[in-house]
A and B are shown apart, each in its own frame.
Chain A
Amino acid sequence: MRNKLSFFHTTIMIYMFQSGVVILSMPHILAYYFGTNGWLAVILISLIVNVNIGFIFLVYRLGKGRSVFEILEQSVSKVILFPLYIALAILWTVLGSLVSKDYVHIFQLFSFPNTPPMLLTVLMGLLALMLLVKGIFVIERAATIFFWLIIWMLLLLFAFSYDFEWVRLTPFVFKEGDNFLLGGLNLLKGFLGYELSLFLFPYSDKRTKLIQAVIIANVMITLVYFITCFIAYGFYSLNQLKGVLYPVIDMMSYIKFPFVQRVENLFYGFFMFTNLFSTVAYVWAAKEACQRVFKKVKPGILAVVLIIIGFSAIAIPDVTGEVREWLAFLGFFEIGVAFILPVLLILVLITQRIMGGAR
């Protein structure tokens, strides 16, 4: 077996890192913050993400595929770096674990409403742990399998086309919205996950075509978000979209049988797969960072410790509102990391080049 990531699997894995339950409420977020024809914002944000991917590409090019930790450790003292690694690891562990809890909270709107949410969240943690201890190559292959289990649901969107009406889209662009900046940041959170490709450098070679994989994954997620939100805008009226918290789940209720309805709740279970990979992605990145500090600790032990820390921390927010507040707060932090880290690395690399040249 090759000990480097493959192009196809990496593309799918990054797509799975990016996708999550945000899609269920995305048309609502767009309607609330951007107003009319908010689906256009998906393209704008995707372009911003592409600029960010451009920075990651520069890091990859300038660093000649070296690990970001190596790049940093070459120029910056470990006294500064290790606390930074620990801080990032805490951010990623808690963020990854929170994503699971958010999923469980939405899940409980429909199923098992009286079961303590932490029990179900821990179950998710256990699944994530099983993947984490196996390492990135197994995660990559598992992502592909789970991808096929979920992507077919996109076809369901065409079932709603009967009630789609162009007239509801209106010719107005971004009117009756609330706050573009906040909306943009909220939307950007739905794209997060691609920035973790920074840590895939040591697992890639030329044949992985890592940056190409990230770009294609981003195009895929953009298309999925775009189609979903566009159809939702023609399916719902604007003010209705502002009022429905999870429009995509409601859209799926179209699928009903004479003997039973509400089967869409079963479909919601499939979203666990994408969500699971968001959790795995962040805790894996945290594990990579911690590994630099605790070099002698086995990766499996580190994964267990991180999952325990993460899932203990997220026991604190216990109602949906609190989980959302935490997620918003940490999500904004992560957006900061996604944009600042590559820029910081580029600066370090340029400095290294200049210093190297001077020598």
Chain B
Amino acid sequence: MSKKGVRIVAAFLVIMMMAGCGDERILERLGFIESQSFDLLPNGKLRITCSIPIADPQSEQNRKVIAIDAESSKDAKLEFNKKTSLTLVSGQLRNLLISKSVAEQGLWDKFDTFGRDPAISPQVNISIVNGNAGHLLEKDYKQHPPTDKYVNRLLGKEARAHTIPKMTLYEFSRDLLDDGIDSIAPIIKEEEDNITLDGIGLFMESKYVTKIDTEEAIILGFLRGNLQRSAIDVELKKGQQVMFNSLTSKRKVKVEHADTERAKVAIHVHLKGSILEYTGPLKLDNPSNRREIAKTVSEHLTERANKMVKFMQKHQVDSLGIGQYVRNSLSHNEWQSMNWRDVYSKADIKCYVHIKIRNIGKSS
């Protein structure tokens, strides 16, 4: 290319590059919404609170909290913008905190924008708040990191330990839109100086129905899928406790019989873990004692698992996804003509938990 040609192309390129300046985003003038909470007001409107971290080192506050009343989450962003000098963006949104009263009314129709807005990541955490979600988000917890990060880290850490399910927009909508499983979401609540877990919320379609206590969350975890690096504490009798860590689990769902009216399902869970603590009379270095402990723990966990399944059947929520396996054992026509929720509530579902002791730690 001649020199003149190069100059023309270079000039053209510069002009084209400058086109990008029309869409500039200056970091200091942006407000990255990190958490958003939703509460139901007595007049049926939503109180939406958002928390925006402030990066300015000269500012005394480390975040800004804005609350507004709106009909839906769609109206909220425009209203938020009216209350701040920053341009609000949702690309770094991490947490959606939804109060139980909002969840009871159903999540999906209200939150259409979260699925549609390309700026919002499908990896945003969803959690239900027992109590006032706005208040939980607004409050600063002295001994902890800023509330957004506190919630985010708490949920992330607990999900990794499987004490609560990892529940993001992607996972919630995946289970919501699947015809063989119901969604679940962790519940948190505000305490005086802390935020704490308050169980696992069970959903029918997108509506919150009931919850499972935090102590039972691990049972839900291994009945719902395969676990790794988990821990469980089992009280065999009064004063006799055994704690397993490095727990791994494998779940197998066996549909023994299914037609359009009835279903018989067995859930086999195989656990493997190391004993970290045991407060009982037996000596652990004896293999037969170890087998006995494993047997007792297995029976104990089986009982708790069966109780949980009965509880779910009573509320007609298939949070374990048994419907997926029943669906896959039937023909497409049979599945379509079956009212799974009805069949599920009457189905014969049995759990069998088998635990193996991997090791007993350093001492006998």
Contact = CB atoms under 8 A, between A and B. Distances in A.
B325 A261 contact: no
B19 A240 contact: no
Contacts of B123: 253-254, 256, 261
A122 B174 contact: no
Given A115-B22, A126-B16, A253 B121 contact: yes
A321 interface: no
Interface string B178-190: 1110000000000
Interface in B98-141: 115, 118-119, 121-123
Contact of A237 (B23, B178, B328): B178
B328 A262 contact: no
B324 A168 contact: yes
28 contacts: A36-B332, A109-B118, A110-B118, A110-B119, A114-B22, A114-B23, A115-B22, A123-B19, A126-B13, A167-B180, A167-B328, A168-B324, A170-B327, A171-B328, A237-B175, A237-B177, A238-B178, A239-B178, A240-B178, A243-B177, A244-B115, A250-B122, A250-B170, A253-B122, A254-B123, A256-B123, A261-B94, A261-B123
B31 interface: no
Interface string A135-166: 00000000000000000000000000001000
A113 B23 contact: yes
B174 to A, nearest CB: 5
Given A237-B175, A237-B178, A260 B16 contact: no
Interface string A93-129: 0000000000000000110111110011011001000
B204 to A, nearest CB: 16
Nearest to B327: A170
A78 interface: no
Contacts, number: 73
Contact of A119 (B16, B174, B175): B16
Nearest to B331: A172
B57 interface: no
B165 interface: no
Contact of B173 (A122, A126, A171, A240): A240
A interface SS class: loop
A240 B13 CA distance: 42
A89 to B, nearest CB: 25
Contact of B19 (A120, A170, A172, A260): A120
Given A113-B23, A237-B178, A243-B115, 19 more contacts: A110-B118, A112-B20, A114-B22, A119-B19, A123-B19, A126-B13, A163-B171, A167-B180, A170-B327, A171-B328, A239-B179, A240-B173, A240-B178, A243-B177, A253-B122, A253-B170, A261-B121, A261-B123, A262-B92
Interface size class of B (residues with CB under 8 A): 20 to 34
Contacts of B332: 36, 172, 175
A55 interface: no
A247 to B, nearest CB: 10
Nearest to A174: B332
For the complex of A and B, list the 8 residue pairs with the smallest distance between their C-beta atoms, beginning with the closest. A237-B178, A239-B177, A109-B118, A240-B177, A119-B19, A112-B23, A172-B332, A115-B23
Nearest to B32: A260
A110 B123 CA distance: 16
A170 B20 contact: no
Interface string A190-226: 0000000000000000000000000000000000000
Interface string A248-284: 0010011010001110000000000000000000000
Interface string B7-18: 000001100100
A254 B168 CA distance: 11
A261 B178 CA distance: 27
Contacts of B16: 119, 122-123, 126
Contacts of B174: 236-237, 240
A107 to B, nearest CB: 11
A341 B332 CA distance: 41
